[in-house]
Structure 1
Amino acid sequence: MTDQLTATRTPAASLAPAALTSLLFGSLLPMLSFFMINVSLPAIGADLHASAGELQLIVGAYGIAVATLLVVAGRLGDGYGRRRLLLGGLAGFVVASVICAFAPSVWVLLIARVIQGASAAAVTPQVLASITSLMTGEHRARGMALFGVANGISAALGQILGGVLVDANPFGLGWRSIFVVLALGGLLALIAIAASVPDTKAAAAHRVDLVGAALLAVTLVLLLLPLTEGRALHWPLWTWLSLAAVVPAVGLLAWHQRRTERAGHAPLIPPSVLQHRAMRIGLLMAVGFFTSFGGFMFVFALATQAGAHMTALEGGLSLLPLAIGFLITCIWGPALQRRYGVAMVVWGWTIQAGGYVLLAAAALALWPDVTVLKLALPMLVIGFGGGLVMIPLIGVVVSQVPPAQAGLGSGILLTSQQTCLALGAATVGTAFLALANTPWGHGGALAGTALALAAVAILMAPITNQLRRP
């Protein structure tokens, strides 16, 4: 998707600080949009009379749109110009954010979130490709590291900023102020990138696999829609039929991808890349981490506000220690990765599991009298461990894939990232809501969810360790 294709211009040693800063700021917006919304879900539900399933869809619809179109947008940027696609994506993001900000109903908000996700899908691959094609050597490595830092921090920062905005209620906008800020941020990024970032394109661009993208979208909808709506609707027949249809849909997608690659074209998810052992292990790692992380961030926002009756600001500030943990790994992570490689990720899984256990203990012992300070230690540990996994994940895996396929590999991992963030909100969120409506209550449901995520992290550690072996 990015560096597997050669740019038509000779790469410069580095980018001007203003250009790199503009690109990194633009890359923040898709992740901020995904996570800022979590902390405002209770307010949206009250204002628009949305059900829990509809709130899950507000998160999931965005993720599905991004995941489906991420690789497609990367290929379009290769062929038609990355700067052009980046500016177009940001323009669409601004318009969709404005529609979200003034949505009169939950269904208008859902449609606007799909448009916002489709626009965001055009941003991330162009940022990565621009850094790859316009920078070389240590400058490129530094740019990619900063991209990883920006994405890692934006996850926790998004919910903190969302909490601040909802609680401050500027101009009486409440949760709508989040989308106003996203629109202003998108407009600022658009102006800055238009003024500072040169255009690049690939020397030979591949045909876009629109059929593969459509099949992926259908598969994700068949999977995520019944998972998000089934519990609230008491699992009617259509939900089971939809889940059963996922199997043939996956089979059809796999058949189309193999057929497309044999014909000499570029499929959305190249089977030849998935033949590499490192990529298969990396996909398992991505599924484990991003499904857990996306689900946890969704669940934590609901538990702290609906269950512990925190304000949106308090719920957001509860994530500040998690953000600090990410920041620590951002500072020391690159040096640790160079020295310890895969072992760093294995430690991350173990530390993160410990953080989830601490959170479960706090929820069981203190609920509902939890505060920002009482949750600080487990959240710090979760953030520190999660950073050790998330920040180097793509780099560690892709480094073990042949260089000619490294760009395709990173594209597959980025697609799985967005897919699994949405999948986490659907699956982990559904399990939490089911438990919360039992005598366990929100505190017991949060503890149970945290212990389940700890178990996932423990299982992921030996799987990750397989990357050390040939």
Structure 2
Amino acid sequence: MNSSAVSPGRAGLLILLTGQMLPLIDTSITNVALDPITRSLHTTPTQLELIVALYGVAFAVCLAMGSKLGDNHGRRRVFMWGVALFGLASLLCGMAGSVHALLAARTLQGAGAALIVPQILATLHVTLKGREHARAISLYGGIGGIAFIVGQMGGGWLVSADFGGLGWRNAFFINVPVCLLVLALSHHYVPETRSESPSGIDWPGTVYLAMILCCLLFPMALGRELHWPLALQLMLVALIPLIWLMRQNALAKQQQGQMPLLPPRLLKLPSIRFGLVIALLFFSAWSGFMFCMALTMQSGLGMAPWQSGNSFIALGIAYFVSALFAPKLIARYSMGKILLTGLSVQLAGLLLLMLTFWHFGLHTSAVTLAPATALIGYGQALIVNSFYRIGMRDIKKQDAGAGSAILSTLQQSTLGLGPAVLGSMFLALASGGGYITAIVGFLGLEVLLMLLLAAVALSFRQHLSGCPVPSL
């Protein structure tokens, strides 16, 4: 790595963190705008799932490619490419005259996000040391909570204010001036770094991953609405040969001394496998939770976008506070304890949220939701902080980049699939018994998933307590 790279300073750090917030804020804004998008473009609930999910899937598929491009061609350069693409895609999202145009623009936006995000952490690692590095990483970890609050509140306000009669389109247009500002300042304040040993991109592996995720996404999202036609059934069947082909490609590249997208030798490590379990159970449930809650607030309870956004303020604040204090807890306690504590707090919040919806029904408000969502946010931050640290435990230094790429790809893949897989179950419940029954049933399912994750964590606990915590 470019160890002699110049520190970005406060201005550079602020620009990088602003770049990090763009994709995070956009996820929140999109959830807030679901109901206005439905009225404007006459979308079905299934198409709403795809608006959220395609962004996450494109993000996941292009993430490893974005990381390699930054290593090979310069991280500042690729960061600026990503910001430019994200800004263009945001403009196209706001201008979309049909749901199909919006879906295409959202996919492009996910690709832009995948070029932005890997450059930020890599630049911080290479250019900062000691206390400055620790402070920057804490800010990097806590920015999700800030982005969540800004996205929910700012997005809800933008949509409800209806500037220029543009409604939900403002939630996407607001990204354009921010992207232009980041582009204008990046060249002056963000140092250029790149890897001293460039490596090739696993194009076949990237294509196989895209096909696998699409063969999962579209049947799960469209199957119920289209009554499971033969084409969607064949897509699910195609998963088996696609997974086999991706594995064969990875084994061949590994034998040739190249780095495949998902290296088989790293996938055999216990910590990576446990990271896969966390991704499947937690991150899919998290993105599914945000989608189902947004639909319940807007379509079920009739909240305006700003009211829906305000309902998540307590969650965002609790997440931010928890993320800031997480490094101190990690220094004192084992990762097993921190993960289980996070799961316990989140489970308490989920159960309280079930009771809240059950008791208040259609009279549920932002105030009544605050205690439960605050617990959920606090627990979520501990689980997210545990994910990378646990997943990287068995990774050697020379494989740090590949290990981080695997975990990031797993995280984004499951975040993308969550709204489609779990959202379909939620919509099936809503069509039969209404939104309150559906959200209570969904939360019950999420409780079961978190209990399953806790059981796996307990079986893995001895491994966690016996290993040092890696520095991220």
* Residue aligned with 2:68, SS: helix
* Residue aligned with 2:327, SS: helix
Task: Give the structure-1-normalised TM-score.
Answer: 0.95
The answer to whether structure 1 residue 389 and structure 2 residue 412 are counterparts is: no
Give the AA of the match of 2:31.
Answer: N
Measure the CA separation in 1 of the matches of 2:41 and 2:390.
Answer: 43
The answer to whether structure 1 residue 362 and structure 2 residue 369 are counterparts is: no
Match of 1:61 among 50, 54, 60: 54
Q: Is the 8 A contact 2:391 2:407 kept in 1?
A: no
Match of 2:98 among 95, 98, 105: 105
What does 1:62-141 correspond to in 2, within 5 Å? 62-141=55-134
* Residue aligned with 2:224, SS: coil
Measure the CA separation in 2 of the matches of 1:156 and 1:241.
Answer: 41
Deviation at 1:203, TM superposition (A): 0.6
Give the AA of the match of 2:350.
Answer: Y
Moved more, 112-121 or 140-149: 140-149
Task: Give the structure-2-normalised TM-score.
Answer: 0.95
Give the AA of the match of 1:371.
Answer: S
Q: Is the 8 A contact 1:212 1:268 kept in 2?
A: yes
Measure the CA separation in 1 of the matches of 2:163 and 2:330.
Answer: 42
Change (3 A) 1:49 1:382: same
Deviation at 1:118, TM superposition (A): 0.8
What does 1:19-418 correspond to in 2, within 5 Å? 19-342=12-335, 343-418=337-412
Give the AA of the match of 2:23.
Answer: P
Deviation at 1:423, TM superposition (A): 0.9
* Residue aligned with 2:366, SS: coil
User: Which residue is 1:3 aligned to?
Assistant: none
Give CA-to-partner distance per residue, 1:45-81, whole Å, 9 cap, x none: 1101111111111111111111001001111111111
* Residue aligned with 2:33, SS: helix
Change (3 A) 1:392 1:382: same
* Residue aligned with 1:373, SS: helix
Give the AA of the match of 1:64.
Answer: V
Deviation at 1:152, TM superposition (A): 4.2
Q: Is the 8 A contact 1:81 1:201 kept in 2?
A: yes
The answer to whether structure 1 residue 426 and structure 2 residue 420 are counterparts is: yes
The answer to whether structure 1 residue 462 and structure 2 residue 455 are counterparts is: yes
Change (3 A) 1:152 1:413: farther
Give the AA of the match of 2:281.
Answer: G
Deviation at 1:467, TM superposition (A): 4.7
Measure the CA separation in 1 of the matches of 2:283 and 2:378.
Answer: 15
Give the AA of the match of 1:408.
Answer: A
Q: Which structure 1 residue ranges, 5 or more long, are not aligned? A: 1-5
Deviation at 1:250, TM superposition (A): 1.4
Moved more, 296-305 or 241-250: 241-250
Q: Is the 8 A contact 1:354 1:454 kept in 2?
A: no
Q: Is the 8 A contact 2:138 2:324 kept in 1?
A: no
Q: Name the count of aligned residue pairs.
A: 462
Q: State the identity %.
A: 35
Structure 1 residue ranges (4+ consecutive) displaced by more than 6 angstroms after TM superposition: none
Change (3 A) 1:217 1:33: same
Measure the CA separation in 2 of the matches of 1:453 and 1:201.
Answer: 41
Give the AA of the match of 1:432.
Answer: F
Measure the CA separation in 2 of the matches of 1:394 and 1:356.
Answer: 24
Give CA-to-partner distance per residue, 1:312-366, whole Å, 9 cap, x none: 1111111011012102202321111111131111110111111111111111121
* Residue aligned with 1:37, SS: helix
Measure the CA separation in 2 of the matches of 1:328 and 1:129.
Answer: 24
Give the AA of the match of 2:330.
Answer: Q
Measure the CA separation in 1 of the matches of 2:242 and 2:391.
Answer: 27
* Residue aligned with 1:207, SS: coil
Q: Which structure 2 residue ranges, 5 or more long, are not aligned? A: 467-472
Measure the CA separation in 2 of the matches of 1:64 and 1:230.
Answer: 18
Give CA-to-partner distance per residue, 1:414-444, whole Å, 9 cap, x none: 1112111111110111010000000x21001
Measure the CA separation in 2 of the matches of 1:297 and 1:398.
Answer: 27
Q: CA RMSD in A?
A: 1.5
User: Which residue is 2:440 aligned to?
Assistant: 447
